[in-house]
Amino acid sequence: MTNTIEAYGRTKYVDSHKETFGRLKNTVFKSSLTPPFETPYTDVWPISLAQADGKKLLIGTQVANMLITSSIRLDTSMKPCIGSSNVSFQLNSAADSLCVKIYLDSVCLEEALAISKSTNTFRTSSFDIIYQLRQIRRPITRAHVCQPYTIFTLADYDRGKSPGAILTVEELASLATGRIKELLLAICRLFPSAEEDMAIINNTKLSDYLSTIANLLMPSIAAVNETVALQVSRIFDTVLS
């Protein structure tokens, strides 16, 4: 059962975090693009992809791919998978993907359709509004404790001691240590002056610094997501007992 997904566009002009595809030496990238043969669901293709930071479970379409970031097996006793990597569901071949059945929660589907049809929509839910400015996430459950932490929400972890769990550059630079501190000080130096703003879009140096910081924060995010997995397990144990 899937609890949270993240949707990403197919092209770099739509989404800078698009799925990688193209040519490799003597082969091509394996992707979640729908294959050129008949599938159970038209233009929909569930698949597992091995990447540098772990195996991903995705549902691909022609215009986007959905990354499963929170899921649990109902047919066996297994720890929930929280975060971008998923080891509970393995779709390693076309035969595996062809056997998949996808069921949608009708209530969530109706809510999503209403949001997409409304010209006044400016958020996907009534909570976590600030985070929706940067990353759209649509949880099936409204329980905050069941949602995976990301680089955008790590600061909200109540017991977090990560140097990244602060929102302002100044606070980060003063409290961080090691490589993260060096990178944050480098970001501070990108500002023209204390009175001037810094360009964000197409700022290659800023993007490189932030990408490196995000990678350095991955161990902290993985650690706090272990507590989310325990919360999800506790909820299901309560419901099923």
pLDDT at residue 160 tops 60: no
pLDDT at residue 199 tops 70: yes
The answer for 178, left when phi > 0, alpha when psi is -120 to 50, beta otherwise, is left
Q: Which of 46-60, 133-147, 182-196, 226-240 has the highest mean pLDDT?
A: 46-60
3-state secondary structure of 237: helix
Can you read off the two tokens belonging to residue 229?
A: 């997995």
Confidence of residue 118 (pLDDT cuts 50, 70, 90): confident
Tokens 């990688």 belong to: 20
Contact criterion met (CB below 8 Å) for 146 and 226:
no
SS (H, E, C) 94-144: HHHHHCCCCCCCHHHHHHHHHHHHCCCCCCCCCCCHHHHCCCCEEECCCCH
Q: Which long-range contacts (CB under 8 A, 24 or more apart) does 117-123 make?
A: none
The residue ranges of DSSP E strands in the chain, in sequence order, are 2-9, 23-24, 27-28, 45-51, 54-60, 64-71, 81-82, 137-139
Mean pLDDT, rounded, of the chain? 79
pLDDT for the residue 164: 47
The answer for 234, left when phi > 0, alpha when psi is -120 to 50, beta otherwise, is alpha
pLDDT for the residue 156: 66
Position with higher pLDDT, 216 vs 144 = 216
pLDDT at residue 31 tops 80: yes
pLDDT for the residue 48: 94
With residue 21 as reference, give the H or E element that holds it: none
Dihedral of alpha carbons 215, 159, 68, 109, sign: negative
Which among 84, 115, 98 is positioned nearest to 37, based on CA atoms? 98
Q: Where are the domains of the chain?
A: 2-103, 106-136, 154-240
CA distances from 72 to 3, 193, 219, 229 (A): 8, 49, 22, 9
pLDDT at residue 98 tops 90: yes
pLDDT at residue 140 tops 50: no
pLDDT at residue 130 tops 70: no
Q: What is the CA radius of gyration of the chain?
A: 20
CA gap 200, 209 in Å, rounded: 12
Confidence of residue 22 (pLDDT cuts 50, 70, 90): low
Confidence of residue 198 (pLDDT cuts 50, 70, 90): confident
pLDDT for the residue 58: 94
pLDDT at residue 30 tops 90: no
What is the tally of helices (H) and strands (E) in the chain? Answer: 6, 8
Tokens 């023209």 belong to: 192
Q: pLDDT digit string (tens) for 32-69?
A: 988 999 999 999 999 999 887 789 999 999 989 999 98
